[in-house]
Amino acid sequence: MNQDLAERVARNPILRPQDLRPSAPGFEITCLLNPGVFQFDHKTWLVVRVAERPVQMPGKTSFPVLTPWGGMEILEFNSSDPRLDLSDPRVISYDGRDYLTTLSHLRLLSSDDGVSFRELEPPQRLVGNGELEAFGIEDCRVARIDETYCLTYTQVSSHGVGVGLRTTRDWKTFVHEGMIFPPHNKDCALFEERIGGKYFALHRPSSPELGGNYIWLAESPDLIHWGRHRCVALTRENCWDSARVGAGASPIRTEEGWLEIYHGATSENRYCLGALLLHLNQPWRVLARSGEPIMEPLAPYEQEGFLGQVIFTNGQVVEGDRLTIYYGAADSVICAARMSIASIIGSLAAVKGATA
């Protein structure tokens, strides 16, 4: 049964790779996706992920990596080399080693109406920095805690995939706090309020042998040191979220509990959205969860692209009952859709044994 609750913006996709300029000559923006979202200076802002690579030459597969001294290096393979595995458009495997096909950085765009976004002049870019970000930075979530904006994002390098934290108050100067969740971990969403005096974060470690790709909760006295880890949401066999689940943007406080929009994917990489309702004072208790997706790839721009059948969100705006989610569609373009928070909560199935 199709329970898609999203009203897609008529102008979708609201941003495409050709809407921005590549950051270097000879480069192409391959994908523009997965924006973090925040309100600042009476405007809506996106921190978009710009995934780039050199314009590809026939017979060659080339991709950029960042060097420790702040430059960039292009690596190149012969596409016919039998040691090369290009079966996943996102990953280059060569002789058992993995690289990414594109290098991502983040760019700031702003809007007065939440639909038409413009880049700053000159563009403001956040780029990978140091050994742990040599393959780029991706999928930034923005949480506003008191007067500080906290950016949690994916740090990628040959050492693995982890979660980095940068903070800012003015979007001009940033404090680099380094890696807060080591590999393999991503999809870190901070709660924007303390609970019982502690900071809380949803995050997604991956455990390839025992376990899987599950959503966990951690707490911290200072946003840097995280502990009391608890697993809050597993994947579900034969379901739309059977292979991986991961948090979207910061949980939304409602009277019924914290509402968290999350993505779930199958092993065929079909990504849909669902929701979790967490207890207000004990957020490790899941009260309710989507049985069916609240949004699934239905529009042509969600079904076809760099990686088709993908809806992935890590940014949203809440105005009363109206939730505007910003999302990457088919890992290629940026879209927006609106949903009623009450109807999301109304669509959830109570989790057995959970009491509010």
Q: How far is the CB of 51 from ligand MAN (least distance, A)?
A: 7
Which positions ≥6 away from 121 have C-beta within 8 Å?
Answer: none
CA 155, chain centre distance (Å): 12
For residue 15, list its beta bridge partners.
334
Distances (CA, A) of 97 to 75, 101, 235, 343: 13, 13, 27, 45
Query: Which region among 154-162, 199-207, 215-223, 255-263 touches ligand MAN (by CB under 6 A)?
Result: 154-162
Q: Which is nearer to ligand MAN, 33 or 252 (CB)?
A: 33
Burial bucket for residue 37 (CB in 10 Å: 0-12, 13-18, 19+)? buried
Query: Closest Cα to residue 243, out of 210, 271, 205, 218?
Result: 271
Q: Which is nearer to ligand MAN, 139 or 260 (CB)?
A: 139
Q: Contacting ligand MAN (CB under 6 A), which of 21, 60, 90, 169?
A: 90
Query: Closest Cα to residue 271, out of 332, 181, 209?
Result: 332
Rounded Cα distance between 326 and 295, Å, is 12
Reduced to 3 states (helix: H, G, I; strand: E, B; else coil), residue 306 is: coil
Is 260 among the residues that bind ligand MAN (CB under 6 A)? no
Is 161 among the residues that bind ligand MAN (CB under 6 A)? yes
Q: How far is the CB of 189 from ligand MAN (least distance, A)?
A: 16
- B/e letters for 143-160, b = 16+ CB within 10 Å, e = fewer, are bebeeebbbbbbbbbeee
Q: Contacting ligand MAN (CB under 6 A), which of 14, 20, 50, 156?
A: 156
Q: How far is the CB of 154 from ligand MAN (least distance, A)?
A: 5
Q: Which is nearer to ligand MAN, 181 or 199 (CB)?
A: 181
Is 259 among the residues that bind ligand MAN (CB under 6 A)? no
Is 154 among the residues that bind ligand MAN (CB under 6 A)? yes
Is 138 among the residues that bind ligand MAN (CB under 6 A)? yes
Is 103 among the residues that bind ligand MAN (CB under 6 A)? no
Query: Which region among 37-45, 153-161, 205-213, 333-341 touches ligand MAN (by CB under 6 A)?
Result: 153-161
Determine contact, residues 250/143, Cβ cutoff 8 Å: yes
Q: How far is the CB of 114 from ligand MAN (least distance, A)?
A: 25
Q: How far is the CB of 105 from ligand MAN (least distance, A)?
A: 12
Is 91 among the residues that bind ligand MAN (CB under 6 A)? yes
Determine if residue 269 is left, alpha or beta; phi over 0 gives left, psi from -120 to 50 gives alpha, anything else beta: left
- Residue with CB nearest ligand MAN? 90
Q: Which is nearer to ligand MAN, 14 or 161 (CB)?
A: 161
Is 180 among the residues that bind ligand MAN (CB under 6 A)? no
Rounded Cα distance between 177 and 200, Å, is 17
Q: Contacting ligand MAN (CB under 6 A), which of 37, 100, 294, 345?
A: 100
Q: CA 163, 170, 145, 342 torsion: positive or negative? A: negative
Which tokens hold the place of 229?
């880890």
Q: Which is nearer to ligand MAN, 110 or 332 (CB)?
A: 332
- The residues that touch ligand MAN, with contacts defined as CB under 6 A, are 90-91, 100, 138, 154, 156, 161
